[in-house]
Amino acid sequence: KAGVTQTPRYLIKTRGQQVTLSCSPISGHRSVSWYQQTPGQGLQFLFEYFSETQRNKGNFPGRFSGRQFSNSRSEMNVSTLELGDSALYLCASSLVAGEAGELFFGEGSRLTVL
Amino acid sequence: AQTVTQSQPEMSVQEAETVTLSCTYDTSESDYYLFWYKQPPSRQMILVIRQEAYKQQNATENRFSVNFQKAAKSFSLKISDSQLGDAAMYFCAYRSAEGAQKLVFGQGTRLTINP
């Protein structure tokens, strides 16, 4: 069974640009959540989607957005990039939402903003 | 809001020895879940062990066990018979029992295994 797949793995952008990251969950998993990992702030929750609906959102500005498609694949978008957005963005999937089921993480998308 | 604190940024242990990683958390909730995740260098994060707050018995997974002290809000991870493959960042995480899959992570502990 394929794991959580995130694309692209690495990308470099300049300030002011926008970026879209993609996450394909494990087959059959309907819940997808996103996390930002930086050396200074650690791991911070961005948002969670289940059945194409955003269930929860972390404390991030409106420049950060996401969506989930009918096949459970998810995308997150960051507009008007800032230097501080440089981070490893992790996607995690689980079978269902609302239970303490195991979260399976992808390898992440490493974004560098110059 | 819930917080998770890992007071040991780095730890090291000799191969085959035992090491304990500390974690404390703060919450006003009575029902929640606690996790330890392992993130090897340049590899994806994987779940090591999980503890439900309503269970008094400490969780155990092979060489990994926890010491869960609910009143003290403490959740330490013990790794027995340490192996070179245990070298990684270890994150303690909290999740409310109500709904969403939102994890609150600690800052992490970098574990080094000395051969």
Q: How many residues does chain A have?
A: 114
- For residues A61-65, average pLDDT: 97
**Tens-digit pLDDT profile for residues B11-58:** 999 999 999 999 999 999 989 999 999 999 878 899 999 999 998 899
**B100 secondary structure, DSSP code:** -
- For residues A38-44, average pLDDT: 94
B36, B94 contact by CB (below 8 A): no
Q: Is the CB of residue B103 less than 8 Å away from at least one CB of chain A? A: yes
Which of A23, A43, A48 should one mutate to test binding to chain B, selecting the residue with the greatest count of B CBs within 10 A?
A43
If you measure CA to CA, which chain B residue comes closest to A6?
Answer: B44
**Beta carbons of B100 and A56 less than 8 Å apart:** yes
Distance of alpha carbon B52 from alpha carbon B59, whole angstroms: 9
pLDDT score, position B56:
86
**A39 secondary structure, DSSP code:** T
- For residues A56-69, average pLDDT: 95
Q: Is the CB of residue B100 less than 8 Å away from at least one CB of chain A? A: yes
Task: Identify the bridge partners of residue B21 per DSSP, sorted by sequence position.
Answer: B77
Average pLDDT, chain A: 93
- For residues B68-73, average pLDDT: 96
Look at residue A2 and tell me whether its pLDDT is greater than 90: no
**Cα separations (Å) of B11 from A44, A96, B110?**
23, 35, 6
Distance of alpha carbon B82 from alpha carbon B17, whole angstroms: 5
